[in-house]
A and B are shown apart, each in its own frame.
Chain A
Amino acid sequence: MEDFLVILLKVAAIYGGVIGTAALYTLAERKVAAWIQYRIGPNRVGPWGLLQPLADGVKFIFKEELVPAGANKLLFRLAPMMSAVPAMLTIAVVPFAGDMTLFGVDTFGAIAKIDMSAFYVVAIGGLGVYGIILGGWSSNSKYSLMGGLRASAQMVSYELSLLLGILSIVVVSGSADLYDIVDAQSGAIWRWNAFQQPLAFGLFVIATFAETNRHPFDFAECEPELVAGFHTEYSSMKFALFFLGEYCAMIVMASLTTTFFLGGFEVPFWADAPWVIQLAAFGAKTAFFLFLFLWVRWTLPRFRFDQLMSLGWKVMLPLSLLNVFLYGALTSFGAFGD
């Protein structure tokens, strides 16, 4: 019974934490944009505008639901859910901290610890593409359709690089369990996969930008060409769900980059740190990647769509394959035999 309560507590805490972070992240996006452009940003609701996300949420709830004429009513309502739910489900296996004891129950700092967690995230996260295609298609608007299709072609193209990057990490770690992958990077800081596999690190980070439809690859909502892309016709909470899903996906991707390449929750040179410190270390590393998403968005110009597809298929895919080969050969001939 206590076990069950602890599990419930963990699920609620992690899910609540991620949703809360996503809400604050929307504020951070506007604040960072403002700072980069030498403005102030939202500062009216609460101290430093901290309650802005809450105000936005309330406003979204009371906004009018608009279903465009000729739209497929059922799919139009389902699409935001199909976009947000997979992103929120991927947080289930992210290891936020190591072993811990809560109320006398020995447990670990993730919702679930499964053997194939490294591939679970790709398998579930990849399903987010349906929400975008269907959202774009069911709106009965040309902009939406084009945005949705572009985004889906982009997401499947870059999912390969993501998968191959994970594969090369798994080869070296010898396990597909995220906890084992983190373990393999414990101890000295140069044991982090970012230093062991710099090429895979670079490719993975680029692929996370494309997977989450973020700048410079945000063709799903390419404003100058497609108004707002696949969610042009969406309003109120349905619109908010698309965004919540996108921000959750970004948080998950940042967490995964941390887990795969920056040693996850491990504190360098302090193998058995208490879980609170591990959680803080994880948060700090993830925050860097979250900031990177914003920094890049307000700094770089956007790609052109054919350039994006060329980059994905002609550069990222061959390089990812080569990288898997390289580390496969090193592992197979005993270079990592420790």
Chain B
Amino acid sequence: MSPLSTPHKPNDRSLLPARTSKSFDSLYRDHVDLMYRFANRLCGETEAAKDLVQETFLNAYRGFKKFRGDAQVSTWLYTIASRACLRMRRRRKGEPDRELSLDEFIPTSDGEFRLQIPVDGLSPEEALQNKELRQALDDAINKLPKKYRMVLVLRDMEGLSAKEVGTVMGLNERAVKSRLHRARLFVRRELSARGMTETAGAQDRLSLE
């Protein structure tokens, strides 16, 4: 028996049974790539994404006994990661978090209505072979206030349903759809404004020649 006089805390993680560790291994193996992809999309940089993945699985390890299997494992992990991301980002400075109003996306001229994304009739896969477009899309998503970015990433990039996004973020479906619409309008404006700038730049160059 242990000669230690101090009593063991019941939640001492070093005493977790080997079974938990084995279950954790399979949880980690099956979901680490999914969580890394999600974390990259949320954080926009690989080091922060790795931190977030570690934080997520650490919290998952600790909360393992509480997971009752009501939700899918992936939904549970998305929820843990989203909460961890909110905490991590709160610690960082300069992260703008504001409400997006629909009014700011309403075009005020025919030209604004008709702005297009510069994809030149290519399929999305082909268009995204262009490094500048990939970067512009990443930049646009990173510029979104975090609560809008999370909804866009979960719904349009991770492919969750609006109901699942609601479960992960603790929102009703109506709120999810409202945020999603604003987030898409934001990204559309960022990407098409870039197209406009490029076109204007090209025209400027032409007029100088």
Our verdict on whether A and B bind, yes or no, reads no
Which residues of A line the B interface, CB within 8 A?
Answer: none
